[in-house]
Chains A and B, each alone.
Chain A
Amino acid sequence: MFGAAAMTTMLGLPIPLWQRLADGLAVTLQLTVFGALLAAVFAFLAGFARISRLRLVRGIAFGYTEAFRGLPALVVLFWLVFALPSLGWQLDPLAASVIAVALNIGAYGAEVVRSALAAIPPGQWDAATAVNLSRGQTLRMVILPQAVVTMIPSLSNLLIELLKATALVSLVYVQDLTFQGQIVRAATGKTAAVFLGLLLGYGLIALVLSGLMRALEHAAGKWAGRVVNS
Chain B
Amino acid sequence: MNFDWNVAWHSVPALLDGLLTALLSIAIGYPLAIALGLLLVFPQRSARPWIRIPVRVVVEFIRSTPLLVQLFFLFYVLPAFGVELSAFATGAIGLGLHYATYTSEVFRAGIESVPTGQWDAATALNLSTTRTWWSVVLPQAIPKVLPPLGNYAIAMFKDTPQLTAITVLEVLSAARAEGAQTFRYLEAITMAGLLYLLVSLVLAWLARRVEQRYATTRGIA
Q: Do chains A and B touch in the complex (CB under 8 A)?
A: yes
Instruction: Provide the bound-state CA to CA distance between A40 and B186, in Å.
Output: 29
Contacts of B172 in A (CB 8 A): 72, 74-75, 78
Segment from B45-53, B69-77, B118-126, B207-215 that makes contact with A: B69-77
For residue B110, CB closer than 8 A to chain A, the reply is no
Residue of B nearest to A202 (CB): B65
Segment from B27-35, B133-141, B188-196 that makes contact with A: B188-196
Contacts of A39 in B (CB 8 A): none
Q: Are A164 and B66 in contact (CB under 8 A)?
A: yes
Instruction: Provide the bound-state CA to CA distance between A163 and B196, in Å.
Output: 23
Instruction: Provide the bound-state CA to CA distance between A88 and B186, in Å.
Output: 11
Q: Is the interface of A mostly helix, strand, loop or mixed?
A: helix
Contacts of A191 in B (CB 8 A): 76-77, 80
Segment from A3-11, A79-87, A138-146 that makes contact with B: A79-87
Q: Are A74 and B67 in contact (CB under 8 A)?
A: no
Instruction: Provide the bound-state CA to CA distance between A161 and B186, in Å.
Output: 27
Partner of B72, one of A66, A70, A195: A195
Residue of B nearest to A76 (CB): B193
A163-207 toward B: CB 8 Å interface, digit per residue (1/0)?
A: 111111011000000100110010000011001101100110011
Task: Number of B interface residues at 8 Å Cβ cutoff, please give it.
Answer: 38
Contacts of B184 in A (CB 8 A): 86
For residue B1, CB closer than 8 A to chain A, the reply is yes
Q: Are B186 and A86 in contact (CB under 8 A)?
A: yes
For residue A57, CB closer than 8 A to chain B, the reply is no
**Contact A83 B69, CB 8 Å, known A195-B76, A206-B64:** no
Task: Number of A interface residues at 8 Å Cβ cutoff, please give it.
Answer: 41
**Contact A202 B64, CB 8 Å, known A83-B185, A192-B77:** yes
Q: Are A86 and B1 in contact (CB under 8 A)?
A: yes
For residue A60, CB closer than 8 A to chain B, the reply is no
CB distance from B157 to the nearest CB of A (A): 8
**Contact A196 B73, CB 8 Å, known A83-B186, A83-B190:** yes
Contacts of A88 in B (CB 8 A): 1
Q: Are B162 and A168 in contact (CB under 8 A)?
A: yes
Instruction: Provide the bound-state CA to CA distance between A170 and B161, in Å.
Output: 14
Instruction: Provide the bound-state CA to CA distance between A69 and B196, in Å.
Output: 10
Contacts of B196 in A (CB 8 A): 70-72, 75
CB distance from B104 to the nearest CB of A (A): 15
Interface set, chain B 68-110, CB cutoff 8 A to A: 68-70, 72-73, 76-77, 80
Partner of A87, one of B68, B161, B164, B186: B186
Contacts of B80 in A (CB 8 A): 191-192
For residue A41, CB closer than 8 A to chain B, the reply is no
Contacts of B161 in A (CB 8 A): 72, 74-75
For residue B206, CB closer than 8 A to chain A, the reply is no
CB distance from B129 to the nearest CB of A (A): 33
Q: Are A168 and B68 in contact (CB under 8 A)?
A: yes
Instruction: Provide the bound-state CA to CA distance between A195 and B69, in Å.
Output: 7
Q: Are A178 and B68 in contact (CB under 8 A)?
A: yes
Q: Are B67 and A164 in contact (CB under 8 A)?
A: yes
Partner of A198, one of B69, B186, B201: B69
B124-161 toward A: CB 8 Å interface, digit per residue (1/0)?
A: 00000000000000000000000000000000001111
The 10 A-B residue pairs with the shortest CB-CB distance in the complex, in nearest-first order = A167-B66, A206-B64, A70-B200, A82-B185, A195-B73, A72-B158, A202-B65, A86-B1, A83-B186, A164-B66
Given contacts A83-B189, A206-B65, 14 further A-B contacts (CB under 8 A): A71-B200, A72-B172, A72-B196, A74-B161, A75-B189, A82-B185, A165-B66, A167-B68, A178-B69, A181-B69, A195-B69, A199-B61, A203-B61, A203-B64
Q: List 30 A-B contacts (CB under 8 A).
A: A70-B158, A71-B196, A72-B159, A73-B158, A74-B172, A75-B193, A75-B196, A78-B185, A79-B189, A79-B190, A83-B189, A86-B184, A160-B64, A163-B64, A163-B66, A164-B64, A164-B65, A164-B66, A166-B66, A168-B162, A170-B68, A171-B68, A178-B69, A181-B69, A191-B76, A192-B77, A195-B69, A195-B72, A195-B76, A206-B65
Which residues of B are at the interface with A, using a C-beta cutoff of 8 A?
1, 61, 63-70, 72-73, 76-77, 80, 158-162, 164-165, 172, 175-176, 179, 184-186, 189-190, 192-193, 196-197, 200-201, 204
